[in-house]
Chain A
Amino acid sequence: MDLSDTKKAIESIIFISDQPVTVDKLTLAFPDIDRSQIRKCLKELVSDWEELNRGFFLAEIAGGFQFRTDPKHSEDISNYNKKIKKFRLSRAALEVIAIIAYKQPVTRVEIESIRGVDSSGVINVLLERRVIEIKGRKEVIGKPFLYGTTTEFMEIFGLKSLNDLPTLKELDEISQNLEPSITPIADE
């Protein structure tokens, strides 16, 4: 099989997959083909689809590759397919996800001390939805669970890897946002 055929084969595997297809899995499917060749195919496929400028594109997600639709068409897609589960998360859930994503592995108590409120309900909902998972236990009294994010988390937010998370705002930036836009009202 020459490389252009391999490329097409890889493309079709990604096309039928409901999960991001990783280089590791592809090397299992093509034992005779060099890993670097597979990577080359993938790289070419990504740029091919980008150049074609079609209704969907090949995205690098959670360490793998996945066809995704252009965000431009989200409304049309939801109108067409009413059965599609709409993505919904409460603000509290998002806060917990953000804390876990950046501080993982992290315990419930650590999450709650940042948010200032009980978060066990939210954590259970996120576990159920598989956005987060238990990564282990912390070696402290009571051995609390340590939580971290899942591959599904990266899929939901379209991240290549955890390094792809947006950088946290710096302290200065935060206090600037909080700073008064006009002169503070004299107090006391």
Chain B
Amino acid sequence: MTDLNKEPEQIQNPEPCLVKVQLFEGPLDLLLHLIKKNEVDIYDIPIAKITEQYIEYLELMKVLNLQFAGEYLVIAAELSLVKSKMLLPKPVMEEEEEDPRAELVRRLIEYQIYKDAATDLIGKDVLGRDVFKREYIETSAEHGEEVELVPVDLWALIEAFREFYQRRSYLWAEEITYEAESVTIDEKIEYVLELLKTKQQFKFEELFNDCSSRLDLVITFLALLELARTDNVDVVQDSPDSPILIAYSGENQIGSF
């Protein structure tokens, strides 16, 4: 089920859309809204009334043809359960029984705490909105000759790969793939050389643009190591903090594989 909480970014749209402003971030958000709207005490929620309004709202969403997430139904079910517990005559118990609403209240308050924290954060002087800093200006690609490039040592390269690999790792967090055809190092070497023919020089990370799996990534990296070892490519950077660049070494050994 698609949901209305779906992030605009998620629909591969870098510009957040404004249409959803009035919508709720989720069932808890909706509940908090209803509690505020009705001006009731959060520790003494009139559960029947709030449940009724909550379900009305879901109906409205249906009428408006908005799809809503299953999570909304989960909370609706929870509300109904709490409501029924409230209606049941309390059995005479020795111990004081907990208010059936307590768990829900606890969750609502916790959510409100983080909603407030989010408001506090965005109320700060935000970089790129209120304050600005020096922008990174890329010079190495344009003025390659003027900049003294230093070779990157093997460990720095491996470290760069490790960092990159970790950063990408969420991509295959739930990846289950069947590798029908596996890529070979030779194929990747050709791919890298092909890239160099058209670009002469590119950033380390660009090398992995087309990689779809972990294996692909590792093999591409191995191909790079092989090319560097045989002096087909230069792996360089301007300074220890700047991006690693892969450049064609000029030594025409292409085809020796």
Contacts and interface: CB of A to CB of B under 8 A. Distances in A.
B179 interface: no
Contact of B131 (A69, A97, A181): A69
A123 B169 CA distance: 13
Contacts of A3: none
25 contacts: A15-B134, A67-B134, A68-B127, A68-B131, A74-B129, A77-B132, A86-B129, A87-B129, A91-B25, A97-B118, A98-B114, A99-B114, A102-B117, A114-B107, A114-B110, A114-B114, A116-B107, A127-B167, A134-B169, A156-B128, A168-B113, A174-B116, A177-B116, A178-B112, A185-B39
Contacts of A85: 128
A90 B8 contact: yes
Interface in A113-140: 114-118, 121-125, 127, 130, 133-134
Contact of A180 (B41, B125, B241): B41
B56 interface: no
Interface residues on B, range: 35 or more
A158 B123 CA distance: 11
Interface of A: 15-19, 59, 66-71, 74, 77, 84-95, 97-99, 101-102, 114-118, 121-125, 127, 130, 133-134, 145, 155-158, 166, 168-169, 171, 174-175, 177-182, 184-185, 187-188
Given A184-B39, A184-B40, A188-B48, A121 B121 contact: no
A91 B16 CA distance: 10
A133 B69 contact: no
B81 interface: no
Q: Taking chain A's interface residues, is the majority helix, strand, or loop, or is none over half, making it mixed?
A: mixed
Contact of B134 (A18, A179, A184): A18
A32 B37 CA distance: 65
Interface in B89-144: 107, 109-122, 124-137
Given A95-B25, A125-B10, A134-B169, A101 B124 contact: no
Contacts, number: 191
B129 A188 contact: no
Interface in B3-34: 3, 5-10, 15-16, 25-29, 32
Contact of A74 (B44, B111, B131): B131
The residue in B36, B113, B135 that gathers the most chain A C-beta atoms within 10 A of its C-beta is B113
A121 B124 contact: no
B257 interface: no
B34 to A, nearest CB: 11
B81 to A, nearest CB: 16
A148 to B, nearest CB: 13
